[in-house]
Amino acid sequence: SQKIEQNSEALNIQEGKTATLTCNYTNYSPAYLQWYRQDPGRGPVFLLLIRENEKEKRKERLKVTFDTTLKQSLFHITASQPADSATYLCALPTNAGNMLTFGGGTRLMVKP
Amino acid sequence: DTAVSQTPKYLVTQMGNDKSIKCEQNLGHDTMYWYKQDSKKFLKIMFSYNNKELIINETVPNRFSPKSPDKAHLNLHINSLELGDSAVYFCASSQGFQENSPLHFGNGTRLTVT
């Protein structure tokens, strides 16, 4: 089965810097990959989807890359703000349709 | 307007009891899910329903029984609660099962079994 690895240690960065989070998977390359944001006490919120034939996807200050050779996706937040502090989860579909498997998430802390 | 709503938000109960969690979505989606998030924050799929029909049951004990009276509702009933059932349970919905549509999550139900 697919294993998804995200850095379980919190990432602490200074406001204004670029945050880079990593998502690695171990088995087959999925047709797409999704990123979600989760705040304490809340459900995950969808941010971006990137397909296997897309190298890069952008949305405002967010950028996602997808390298099927490395079996890795990188999630970047440029000009980070304290309000970006949250846990970020990557998710990949399993072979069974749209059923998503989630990574354990990386907690991002942006300090003013 | 709340897109995916779950009740209750908190549930504290004793071992052996039976409890239910309700979920409703007003997005007009065809597919609904239950996920469990444990203390290590891993989100694991439990069930998926498409148009009121069970699609996926991910080796969940049969003490857990989902019920979908219509496309907009997916309730979760748990019998004979055990300590290990303590977790946050999230309901989610998406437009379609085979498509790559994103999931819309509720804000979770924190279940504590004592």
Mention every residue, 6+ apart, whose C-beta is less than 8 A from residue B65: B76, B77, B78, B79
Token code pair at residue B97: 């099962």
* Structure confidence at residue A8 as a pLDDT band (50, 70, 90): confident
Percent of chain B beyond pLDDT 70? 96
* Structure confidence at residue B96 as a pLDDT band (50, 70, 90): confident
Cβ <8 Å between A96 and B56: yes
Q: Is the model's pLDDT at A77 over the cut of 90?
A: yes
Mutation site, B100, B105, B110, interface A, largest A CB count within 10 A: B100
The domain total for chain B is 1
Contact present, A90 and A34 (Cβ < 8 Å) = yes
- Beta bridge mates, B7: B22
β-strand B87-94 against B104-105: which pairing, if any? antiparallel
Q: Is the model's pLDDT at A97 over the cut of 70?
A: no
Cβ <8 Å between A44 and B43: yes
> Could you read off the pLDDT of B19-45 as tens digits, one per residue?
999 999 999 999 999 999 998 788 999
> How high is the mean pLDDT of chain B?
91
Cβ <8 Å between A46 and B106: no
What is the sign of the dihedral through the CA atoms of A108, A109, B3 and B4? Answer: positive
Q: Is the model's pLDDT at A34 over the cut of 90?
A: yes
Q: Is the model's pLDDT at A2 over the cut of 80?
A: no
Residue B31 to chain A, least CA–CA distance (Å): 10
Domain that holds residue B58: 4-113
> Could you read off the pLDDT of A55-73 as tens digits, one per residue?
899 999 999 999 999 999 9
Q: Is the model's pLDDT at A31 over the cut of 80?
A: yes
Percent of chain B beyond pLDDT 90? 73
Which of B94, B97, B105 has its CB closest to that of A44? Answer: B105
Q: Give the architecture-level CATH label for domain A4-111.
A: Sandwich (2.60)
* Structure confidence at residue A96 as a pLDDT band (50, 70, 90): low
Which segment of A25-29, B12-16, B94-98 scores lowest on mean pLDDT?
Answer: B94-98
Cβ <8 Å between A46 and B4: no
Query: How many Å is the Cα radius of gyration of chain A?
Result: 13
* Structure confidence at residue B105 as a pLDDT band (50, 70, 90): very high
Give the pLDDT confidence score for residue B24 in this predicted structure: 97
Q: Is A104 on the interface with B (CB under 8 A)?
A: yes
Q: Give chain A as a DSSP string.
A: ---EEE--S-EEEETTSPEEEEEEE-SSPPSEEEEEEE-TTS--EEEEEEETT-SEEEETTEEEEEETTTTEEEEEESS--GGG-EEEEEEEE-SSTT-EEE---EEEEEE-
Taking the domains of chain A in order of start, what are their residue ranges?
Answer: 4-111
